[in-house]
Amino acid sequence: MTVTTRFAPSPTGTLHVGNLRTALHNWMFARAHGGRFLLRIDDTDRARSEERHVESIRADLAWLGLVPDGEGRQSARFDRYEARFAELVAAGRAYPAYETAQELDLKRKVLLGRGLPPVYDRAALALSDAERAAFEAEGRAPHWRFRLDHDLPIEWDDLVRGPQRFEPKTMSDPVIRRADGSWLYLFPSVVDDIDMAITHVVRGEDHVSNTATQLQMFAALGSNPPAFAHEALLVGNEGKLSKRLGSLGVDHFRQSGIEPQALVALLARIGTSDPVEPHVDPAPLIAGFDFARFGRAPARFDEAELAQLNARIVHQLGFDAVAQRLPDGVTSEAWEAIRPNLASIAEAADWWRVVEGPIEPADLSPEDRPFLAQAAETAAQIDWSADPWHALTGALKGATGRKGKALFLPLRLALTGREHGPDMARLLPLIGRDAALARLQAAR
């Protein structure tokens, strides 16, 4: 058996961080088992599906490094759904129902008013041919429901949640086709999973009840179901389900300077007891991926943790990986010098401006100005071909007796305009002799 997973977004909007996590885990599980990861565009909703969102989905997956091994679209498979639907109708597992939305709403309210669960009463199954014909004559087109088998409980061993059990008698027969002929999610998804030979369905825990009904659809269509993994949903740092998470997508993370490797590293591990680590290469994450390590508690997504992780990722990136995103003139040596002080690659431009100048004059104390005048004279005499920073500070320490902060801070302020920053031994050669002398002379 070739492990085959699928990510099946609807192109009615952009992907959010919860979608990205689902896609990532499907991809990782497939890669961990030498299997296939498929992208399925669930675009049966023709009114709301847009091609620009399809392109956005592909681009977002590519940004994360999730390359599908194949792609399908539900809009190209309507004939297949018709054929399999006809099988259900012939077998008595799909039936027409004529209640209006208002009538169904009234039934639900009556049941809830009596303290009963709002389960559909299957009144449509009791209609005679004459009654159905009368509805048709009124102009009522039926919607179609899948008839659940009430005889046996629905059970499966979920890869995350463990043993699951549903009693079909407590569930409404799900609507699988609207009165206008369009399909709802449940039935086409089952047909696709059968035809695409999906072995594992990985999705959020909000689909657990859907799985219960879909398992009976697989059986009604004569197919073995895939294994299911229902993951806990993401929550915000405040510990509650957050609407904000629904708006966090790739564009947000890009604009925030987040590297895709950082998002992958975080989403791969949150929800488990494993530590979140800054892996630039996803191979270790894939090797250790196991649904048994995921808990049922909500997975907390913390943007502050992501930002910290991002900095650790940036500190590992080589020059070749970032060269096209750096300001003109930044060399490999410059990248190595400024990289340890970056939280995002975009910040490299700030430090490159420090190197190239001009810099904002620093607020220097009166007692430091004579010292900087001496520093300017010393800097003009040292050898700049090797290690000018240690040559300069060594000479000044011997001449003035200054050491530690009193020695280093005035020099850093005069040369960079900032109290903190990259290692001056690496930064000073980038600034260069002439610019350094000019800055020291200006500071005095």
Task: Give residue 438's pLDDT band: very low, low, confident or very high (50, 70, 90).
Answer: very high
Q: List pLDDT tens digits, range 163-173.
A: 999 999 999 99
Task: Give residue 342's pLDDT band: very low, low, confident or very high (50, 70, 90).
Answer: very high
Q: List pLDDT tens digits, range 79-130.
A: 999 999 999 999 999 999 999 999 999 999 999 999 999 999 999 999 999 9
In a domain, 153, yes or no: yes
Report pLDDT for 228: 98
In a domain, 309, yes or no: no
Mean pLDDT of 9-18: 93
Give 124's DSSP letter.
G
- Say yes or no: 401 and 334 in one domain: no
Task: Give residue 240's pLDDT band: very low, low, confident or very high (50, 70, 90).
Answer: low
- Say yes or no: 148 and 99 in one domain: yes
Beta carbons of 237 and 303 less than 8 angstroms apart: yes
On the question of pLDDT at 332 being above 90, the answer is yes
In a domain, 339, yes or no: yes
Task: Give residue 241's pLDDT band: very low, low, confident or very high (50, 70, 90).
Answer: low
Domain boundary among 161, 177, 193: 177
Alpha-carbon gap, residue 293 to 272, rounded angstroms: 5
Domain boundary among 157, 177, 197: 177
In a domain, 231, yes or no: no
- Say yes or no: 336 and 411 in one domain: no
Report pLDDT for 236: 87
- Say yes or no: 110 and 138 in one domain: yes
Sequence-ordered list of residues with C-beta below 8 angstroms from that of 105, at least 6 positions apart, any chain: none
Task: Give residue 239's pLDDT band: very low, low, confident or very high (50, 70, 90).
Answer: low
From residue 381, alpha-carbon distances to 375, 393, 397 in Å are 10, 13, 15
Domain boundary among 177, 200, 232: 177
Whether residue 243 is annotated as binding a ligand: the answer is yes
- Say yes or no: 348 and 375 in one domain: no
From residue 339, alpha-carbon distances to 6, 33, 317, 402 in Å are 38, 36, 8, 29
Q: Helices marked H in 196-328 — which ranges?
A: 208-220, 250-255, 260-269, 283-287, 303-314, 319-322
* Residue-number span of the structural domain to which 337 is assigned: 319-356
Mean pLDDT of 324-334: 96
Mean pLDDT of 264-283: 95
Q: What is the CATH number of the domain that holds 137?
A: 3.90.800.10
- Say yes or no: 323 and 390 in one domain: no
In a domain, 127, yes or no: yes
Burial letters for 156-185: b for 16+ Cβ neighbours within 10 Å, e otherwise? bebbbbeebebebeebbbbbbbebeeebbb
Beta pairing, strands 299-300 & 234-235: parallel
Beta carbons of 373 and 363 less than 8 angstroms apart: no
Q: What is the CATH number of the domain that holds 384?
A: 1.10.10.350
Q: List pLDDT tens digits, range 23-78.
A: 999 999 999 999 999 999 999 988 889 999 999 999 999 999 999 999 999 999 99
On the question of pLDDT at 433 being above 80, the answer is yes
Instruction: Count structural domains, the chain.
Output: 3
Q: How far is CA 102 from the centre of its chain?
A: 39
Alpha-carbon gap, residue 84 to 188, rounded angstroms: 9
Mean pLDDT of 305-334: 97
Report pLDDT for 47: 84
In a domain, 52, yes or no: no
Measuring CA to CA, which residue among 173, 185, 107 is closest to residue 144?
173
Estimate the share of the chain in helix, then strand, then coil, as percent rounded to the nearest 5.
50, 10, 35
Alpha-carbon gap, residue 111 to 109, rounded angstroms: 5
Give the mean pLDDT of the chain: 95
Instruction: Give the chain's end-to-end CA distance (angstroms, integer).
Output: 76
What Rg value do the Cα atoms of the chain yield, rounded? 32
- Say yes or no: 140 and 119 in one domain: yes
Q: Is 332 exposed, middle or buried (0-12, 13-18, 19+ CB in 10 A)?
A: exposed
Beta carbons of 1 and 198 less than 8 angstroms apart: no
In a domain, 338, yes or no: yes
In a domain, 373, yes or no: yes
- Say yes or no: 347 and 373 in one domain: no
Q: What percent of the chain has pLDDT over 90?
A: 93
- Say yes or no: 337 and 375 in one domain: no
